[in-house]
């Protein structure tokens, strides 16, 4: 239950400016120029940046990406999920199929996702469509999770209202008593599984203190579009590459 003091009213009566907060001495990365693009498709370039983020100790969750979906009513929403795999087929993540994001995806499979690595002043923006992973792949990944995480997936009906956290703790305790036994497997919930985000565009953003940010975008060409090798360059695997103004 929520217990708030009845006598206290919280109001914000002024606009709070935070425009001067930026630390202009933080970012030291060099320019991301065309000659720096060693891959003609986005997944190889992503691997280069991701491995650098992964090796940076100050980045605690390099695989975290902000996933944006749109409801059937047209309202956008965003939340962070962990990317659990990537390759030429796309980017994988897992969730509860009864969650808000899953319901949005069911009605509109077009999504966007953004990785942001603050220390490196880099982000990767992805736009595309999602499709469910196979049940076999879901089960295979589920078995790699820690038992405590498997139990957590069984405990929570994600995005549904709940009276208090005590309810979750009670469910967790019951399941722990049943499944924290050597040799006994936690059954994968039928409403838990993964998605594959198949990109149609992937943009690599390298920030700079002077705001002349570098933006290199890989995308699928439009119908009838032909690379002119000036503004639009031919990549590999059906991709084209362009630089965008910051």
Identify whether 143 is a catalytic site residue.
no
Which CA distances in Å does 98 have to 7, 67, 102? 39, 16, 6
Q: Which of 79, 171, 200, 211 is catalytic?
A: 211
Which CA distances in Å does 166 have to 1, 150, 156, 172? 10, 19, 12, 10
For 218, the enclosing helix (H) or strand (E) is: strand 214-219
Taking a C-beta distance cutoff of 8 angstroms, is the pair 131, 166 a contact? no
Q: What is the DSSP string of 100-152?
A: HHHHHHHH--EEEEEEEEGGGTEEEEEEEEEEEPPHHHHHHHHTTS-HHHHHH
Taking a C-beta distance cutoff of 8 angstroms, is the pair 232, 75 a contact? no
Q: How far apart are CA 103 and CA 16, in angstroms?
A: 35
In 10 A of CB 82, how many CB atoms? 13
Q: Phi then psi for 34, rounded to 5 degrees?
A: -55, -35
Tokens of 49: 């940046």
- Residues with a catalytic annotation lie at 211
């Amino acid at each position: 239950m929520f217990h708030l003091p009845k006598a206290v009213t919280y109001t914000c009566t002024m606009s709070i400016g935070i425009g001067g907060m930026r630390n202009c001495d933080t970012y030291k990365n060099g320019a991301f120029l065309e000659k720096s693009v060693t891959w003609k498709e986005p997944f190889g370039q992503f691997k280069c940046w991701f491995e650098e983020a992964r090796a940076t100790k100050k980045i605690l969750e390099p695989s975290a990406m902000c996933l944006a979906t749109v409801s059937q009513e047209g309202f956008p929403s965003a939340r962070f999920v962990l990317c659990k795999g990537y390759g030429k087929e796309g980017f994988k993540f897992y969730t509860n199929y009864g969650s808000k994001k899953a319901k949005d995806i069911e009605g509109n499979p077009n999504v966007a996702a953004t990785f942001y690595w603050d220390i490196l002043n880099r982000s990767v923006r992805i736009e595309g469509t999602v499709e469910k992973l196979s049940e076999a792949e879901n089960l295979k990944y589920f078995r790699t999770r820690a038992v405590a995480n498997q139990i957590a997936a069984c405990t929570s009906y994600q995005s549904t209202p709940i009276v208090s956290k005590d309810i979750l703790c009670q469910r967790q305790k019951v399941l722990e008593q049943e499944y924290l036994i050597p040799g006994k497997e936690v059954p994968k919930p039928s409403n838990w599984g993964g998605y594959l985000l198949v990109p149609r565009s992937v943009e690599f953003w390298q920030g700079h203190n002077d705001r002349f940010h570098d933006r290199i975008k890989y995308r699928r060409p439009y119908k009838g579009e032909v690379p002119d090798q000036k503004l639009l360059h031919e990549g590999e695997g059906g991709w084209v590459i362009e630089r965008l103004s910051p």
